[in-house]
Amino acid sequence: MSMSIQGVAFFLAVACMSCAAAQSTCLEVGVNPFHDTPSLAAFSKHIDVLGCFDVLAEPGISDAQVLHVAAVAAELMDQDEDGRVDDPGLEAALREGGALMPVLERSGSRTERQLFRGYRGEGMAAVLYADEVDPTRPGRWGADATVEEVLHTLHVVGFVPRFPQQLGLAPGVSSLSKAMDVARGGRFLKVPRAYPEGAWYHYDDKTCDYGCMAIEYLYWASVTEMGLLDDAETAAGIADEWAWHSPEGLRQGDALVHAIITDRGLGLPLRAPDGEYCPSVKIQEKRKHP
């Protein structure tokens, strides 16, 4: 049976798209190696990211979504994309802490209940749901929460324990918590009825305690510096929680947190992920174009 010209064109377009997708993320989806751990047994898909960060997903999560989550995690840990975690100290902390990102089909699923009921480790600081993972819009506020939740995990498991003076989460113990008190217009252990006029960080989720607020603050500052919020639509969408949307606005508006996140001694990731991670291709490109 012959194929029409239009059919050939369509076939080639799909093939090229598949090829590009395969080349953009040089990671592989495997089976769950934790099938003997009751709280993790219901997950079916797994990617070991750089030997120190596990991504686990339910059967209904597409391979494209699992690969996206893993690629974002890899990019945040390996900012120069040479195939190694940039900071050996971070790598060791994540491995020791058992850093884990579960990707769930929906809130309230049987897998989620089993996970929350039985998990006793310290490596899970966040979860992702299927409708929060959009590989076509990496880090886009309101569409893809992957950067946010992976950052939460890296911060909580990898950075905060190593740098308590700079990043400690309790009131008044660190540069971060003191900067947050300034950004919120006072030290509020719980969400206040109303934030003072002039506060630029006014997160109002009453289920989020002081330490949770500090982690969210670190996230907002980080993605602002990455440039992920720098457009009018996003700026309007986040205004009820966070005032700054551009790197320049952050530098001028919150000098305290800007100094913290740009401290090279901490090595916090500040280069925005694009969801593509393939070190061998990057290295070849650098050799071709020194």
pTM: 0.89
Contacts of 169 (CB under 8 A, 6+ apart): 160, 176, 177, 210, 211, 214, 215
Buried b / exposed e over 6-29, threshold 16 CB at 10 Å, is eeeeeeeeeeeeeeeeeebbbbeb
- Separation between Cα atoms, residue 58 and residue 32, nearest integer Å: 10
The larger pLDDT score, comparing residue 274 to residue 286, is at 274
Average pLDDT of the chain, as a whole number? 91
Whether residue 287 is predicted with pLDDT greater than 70 in this model: the reply is no
Among the residue ranges 3-12, 124-133, 258-267, the one predicted with the least confidence is 3-12
Q: According to the model, what pLDDT value does residue 17 have?
A: 36
Whether residue 35 is predicted with pLDDT greater than 70 in this model: the reply is yes
- Separation between Cα atoms, residue 43 and residue 56, nearest integer Å: 6
- Separation between Cα atoms, residue 108 and residue 120, nearest integer Å: 19
Q: According to the model, what pLDDT value does residue 281 have?
A: 62
**SS3 state at 102:** strand
Q: According to the model, what pLDDT value does residue 24 have?
A: 78
Percentage of residues of the chain with pLDDT beyond 70 = 89
Q: Are 237 and 141 in contact (CB under 8 A)?
A: yes
Q: According to the model, what pLDDT value does residue 282 have?
A: 56
Question: In which element (H, E) is residue 284 found?
Answer: helix 279-288
Query: Two tokens at 23?
Result: 């080349």
- Separation between Cα atoms, residue 11 and residue 6, nearest integer Å: 9
Question: Tens of pLDDT along 150-196?
Answer: 999 999 999 999 999 999 999 999 999 999 999 999 999 999 999 99
Question: Tens of pLDDT along 42-92?
Answer: 999 999 999 999 999 999 999 999 999 999 999 999 999 999 999 999 999
Identify the CA nearest to 204 among candidates 242, 245, 256, 249: 242
